[in-house]
C-alpha cells in the first residue's frame, strides 16, 4: 500500500468515526429532549390534577353543599344527613405513548366517601358529627393533546 492510499484510508476511517460521533450526539440529544418533554408533561399533569380535583369539588355533586337530609327509618334519630366527598388523589402516573397526536396519558386515582350524620332534627343532623365511609375508588385517564391535558 502506498502512502497516498494509506492516507485516503485513514481519512475515510476518520470521516466514518466523526459521522458515528455525530449520530451518537444527535441520538443522545433526542433522548434528552424526550426526557425533558416527559418531565414537563409530568409537571403540567400535577397542576392539571389539582385543577381537576378543584373542578370536581366545585361543579360536581360533592361536599357539604350537596348535602341532603332525609327522614330516618326507625332508631333514635329522626333525620339523617348525607353527602359524598372527593378525597385527595391517592396516586397519579404519566406514561409516554407512541402516538404523535397524544404523546402522553395521565392517570389519577382517588376515593369518594359517603359521610352521614344523625339527629333528632334536620338541623341537628346537618351539624354532625359526620362519619365517612368509602363509597368507591375512581381511576380517571386523561390525554395530553395539542400541548395540554384534556378532560
Ranges of each domain in the chain: 3-150
Over residues 57-80, the pLDDT tens digits come to 899 999 999 999 999 887 677 999
Give the number of residues written for the chain: 151
The answer to whether the beta carbons of residues 139 and 96 sit under 8 Å apart is no
The answer to whether the beta carbons of residues 34 and 100 sit under 8 Å apart is no
Beta-bridge partner residues of 80? 70, 118
More confident residue, 21 or 134: 134
Cα 24 from chain centroid?
34
| Residue 62 in grid coordinates | 360533592
Stretch 2-23: mean pLDDT:
49
Amino acid at each position: 500500500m502506498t502512502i497516498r492510499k494509506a492516507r485516503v484510508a485513514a481519512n475515510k476511517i476518520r470521516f466514518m468515526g466523526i459521522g458515528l460521533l455525530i449520530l451518537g450526539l444527535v441520538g443522545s440529544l433526542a433522548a434528552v429532549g424526550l426526557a425533558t418533554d416527559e418531565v414537563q408533561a409530568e409537571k403540567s399533569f400535577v397542576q392539571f390534577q389539582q385543577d381537576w380535583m378543584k373542578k370536581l369539588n366545585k361543579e360536581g355533586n360533592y361536599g357539604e353543599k350537596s348535602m341532603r337530609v332525609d327522614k330516618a327509618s326507625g332508631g333514635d334519630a329522626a333525620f339523617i344527613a348525607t353527602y359524598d366527598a372527593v378525597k385527595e388523589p391517592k396516586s397519579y402516573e404519566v406514561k409516554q405513548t407512541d402516538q404523535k397526536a397524544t404523546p402522553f396519558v395521565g392517570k389519577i386515582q382517588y376515593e369518594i366517601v359517603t359521610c352521614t350524620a344523625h339527629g333528632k332534627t334536620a338541623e341537628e343532623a346537618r351539624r354532625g358529627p359526620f362519619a365517612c365511609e368509602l363509597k368507591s375508588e375512581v381511576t380517571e385517564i386523561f390525554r395530553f393533546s395539542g400541548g395540554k391535558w384534556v378532560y
